[in-house]
A and B are shown apart, each in its own frame.
Chain A
Amino acid sequence: MTSLTRDPLLWILLVVLIAAVVAVMRARRTNMALRRTKKDLEAGLGEARGDVGELHAHIATLTTQHQHALADVRADAEAGTKAVLKSAMGTLQSLAEEQQVLLDSLLKKYGDTTEILADLMTVDHTGSQFGRRAKGISVLCGGWLGRRESVATVYDVARSAQGRIRDFSRVSVHSQVNVSLVGKAVEPVAVVLAELLDNATNYSAPGTPVEVNIQAVPTGVVFIVDDAGLGMDQETKDRAAALLSVDGPVDITGLGDPPRFGFAVCGMLAARYGFAVSVGSVSPYGGVRAVIRVPESLLAADVPAPAADAQDTTAPEAAPQRLAPVPVVGPTHVVGTTSGGLPKRRRRSGPVTVVPALDETAGQEGTPEPASEVTASRLGAFARGTQLGRTTNTTEGPDTK
């Protein structure tokens, strides 16, 4: 036994055993502490996760609110800008119109002075382009074009549109139909056609022709614009199609810098007045073909009067006073010869052809004409008679009588 107690191995074993027990005890304690900490931490984590979720939801709400507010502010700003622009453009539109009316009278006033007339026409051309721009911006801002009282033939609509672009002499108009547009459609279609012609001339080589063909279709009339340019790439086509099919207000700030109003104006006017515009097909010359289709509802019902009559619709036109093509002094009137060798003529029974008939109704009512008027009319007849007598044989021309 003693030997056993004396065995160092036993003591070493004992010490190791005690150390092990102590170590196990300590490990258990640490383990317990760690478990507790872990539990605490897990609880904290859950709480934190919940908070994060809440925060995310909050952020989402705030973002939506912010976006709404931003959209509202943008819309407000856009509406404000449009209101200001619309009013400013309205003023410019009236000024441009005033200038054109003034030029109309100036062109007639100086009509016989070739140099001045040519210069005035140049001014008129610039003014027309200016007016078109002002009208375009005004339309995009919700403004109006101005209303024409009278109908206009499709040919005149095309020519009016032609006059509103820079390179108008490259455009040729061919009309196979003789119909008119109703007054309210005249300006919108002319403005849209002018925008399409502007595009066609700008995106094709200088000097190449641009054609407008007007044809009747079962549903109305189409204006076909063909150019000989390079055509449009897919992106431009998509953009054009989007702008042309717009049915709400146009975001004017999104039109680029410099802004490209053309298609937006076309889409807006087409939607407002009920006609259709499309671009994107290929013209026979390889360029772009743009088409405006005007429905029957915008065509004037009656057969249009010829242009000359249409221009004078305000007052019934007095019949032109013409000099008769045949000399009014015929041989039948000669009844003899004077001693001086001059033909003797009988007094004419009716009024001289060149004298306009005097107020016939007044004559029938038997109102005596004032002596001075009678004298004046007789003298006038005398003067015209002598002039006629002197000039009957001076006809010149390729086919002289």
Chain B
Amino acid sequence: MTNPGEEAAVTSDFVRSYVITGGRTLPDSDDLALHTLVILAPDRTPPLGAGPEVMAIWKLCAGGYLSVAEVAGHLGLPVGVARLLLTDLFEQGHLLRRAEPPRAQNVDRATLEKVLNGLQSLIG
């Protein structure tokens, strides 16, 4: 409680996330995994009536590949909400994405040991 006439500071997020999504169903998390890299497609103009969050994504992704998790982190939004906005942009053709790297082939133990030894002799 505060003293009369004194206002307590309000720190909760001003625009709630369900308003940003417009109450729409969130996309499945398999759709754009956390580590999927996204980048703005070349020569695109932002969609008309894009909200501040979309414009922020636009600026963030123009410079190079960023993962979905990073985009969400920079926007200060829950990943699911950022994913919905990214999915929209992706479906409109504004974004390119790069899937996760393929899993490395199994290498036999001997090779790994050789690499390890080599590294140890290098870095020592």
Interface bits A366-401 vs B (CB < 8 Å: 1, else 0): 000000000100110000000100110011111111
When the two chains form their complex, are residues A147 and B66 in contact, meaning their CB atoms are under 8 A apart? no
Q: Are B8 and A391 in contact (CB under 8 A)?
A: no
B34 and A397 contacting across the interface, CB-CB below 8 Å: no
Flag if A156 contacts B7 (CB, 8 Å). no
Q: Give B75 Cβ to nearest chain A Cβ, in Å.
A: 6
Q: Is A162 an interface residue (CB 8 A)?
A: yes
**Residues in B neighbouring A190, C-beta threshold 8 A:** 14
Residue of B nearest to A113 (CB): B29
- Counting contact residues on chain B (CB < 8 A from A), the size range is 35 or more
* A317 and B74 within 8 A (CB): yes
The answer to whether A94 and B1 have CB atoms under 8 Å apart is yes
Does A114 lie at the interface of the complex (its beta carbon under 8 Å from any beta carbon of B)?
A: yes
Q: Are B59 and A308 in contact (CB under 8 A)?
A: yes
Find out whether the CB atom of B23 lies under 8 angstroms from the CB atom of A149. Answer: no
Q: Does A8 contact B (CB under 8 A)?
A: no
A335 at the interface (CB under 8 A from B): no
Q: Chain B's nearest CB lies how many Å from the CB of A399?
A: 5
Is the Cβ of A186 less than 8 Å from the Cβ of B99? no
Interface string of A141-158 (1 = CB under 8 A from B): 000111111001101100
**Residues of B contacting A: mostly:** loop
The residue of chain B having its C-beta at the shortest distance from the C-beta of A309 within the complex is B56
How many angstroms between the C-alpha atoms of A118 and B24 in the bound complex?
A: 9
A213 to chain B, nearest CB (A): 13
User: Distance (Å) between the CB of A374 and the closest chain B CB?
Assistant: 8
Among listed A67-75, A286-294, A321-329, interface-contacting one: A321-329
Are A111 and B14 closer than 8 Å at their CB atoms? no
By a CB distance below 8 angstroms, the chain B residues around A252 are none
| Given known A-B contacts A94-B1, A144-B5, A399-B93, A160 and B15 have beta carbons under 8 A apart | yes
User: What mask results when residues 71 to 109 of chain B are scored 1 for a CB within 8 Å of chain A, else 0?
Assistant: 010111111111000000010010111110110100000
Which of B7, B16, B25, B51 gathers most chain A CB within 10 Å?
Answer: B16
| Bound complex: CA A113 to CA B42 (Å) | 31
CB-defined contacts of A324 to chain B, threshold 8 Å: 64-65
Q: Does A357 contact B (CB under 8 A)?
A: no
A13 in the interface (beta carbon within 8 A): no
Closest chain-A Cβ to B92's Cβ sits at a distance in Å of 9
The interface size bin for chain A is 35 or more
Given A90-B2, A94-B1, A308-B53: A114 and B15 interface contact (C-beta under 8 Å): no
Give CA–CA (A148, B15) in the complex, Å.
13
B12-A104 in contact (CB<8A): yes
Q: Is the CB of A308 within 8 A of B41?
A: no
CB-CB nearest in chain B for A391: B101
Docked pose: A103 CA to B78 CA in angstroms? 11
Q: Is A396 touching B98 in the complex (CB atoms < 8 A)?
A: yes
CA A37 to CA B32, docked complex, whole Å: 114
Q: Is B117 an interface residue (CB 8 A)?
A: no
Report whether B9 and A160 are in contact in the complex, using a CB–CB cutoff of 8 Å: no
Q: Taking the complex as formed, is B113 at the interface, i.e. its CB lies under 8 A from any CB of chain A?
A: no
Given A145-B7, A163-B19, A187-B10, residue A320 in contact with residue B99 (CB < 8 A): no
Q: Decide: A306 near B18, CB < 8 A? Known: A87-B1, A168-B23, A317-B74.
A: no
Contacts of B104 in A (CB 8 A): 390
CB nearest neighbor in A for B101: A391
Is B78 a contact partner of A163 (Cβ separation < 8 A)?
no
**Is A1 close to B, CB under 8 A?**
no
Supply 27 A–B pairs (Cβ within 8 Å), ascending by A: A107-B81, A108-B77, A112-B34, A113-B80, A114-B26, A114-B28, A118-B80, A121-B21, A122-B18, A125-B18, A148-B10, A152-B14, A156-B14, A160-B14, A160-B19, A307-B52, A307-B56, A308-B53, A308-B75, A311-B75, A320-B60, A322-B66, A390-B102, A395-B98, A398-B41, A399-B41, A399-B96
Q: Known contacts A121-B18, A160-B15, A390-B104; can you find 7 more A-B pairs with CB under 8 A? A: A144-B7, A156-B14, A308-B53, A308-B76, A320-B63, A397-B96, A399-B96
**What 7 A-B pairs are tightest by C-beta distance, nearest first?**
A308-B56, A307-B52, A322-B64, A111-B78, A397-B96, A111-B79, A100-B12
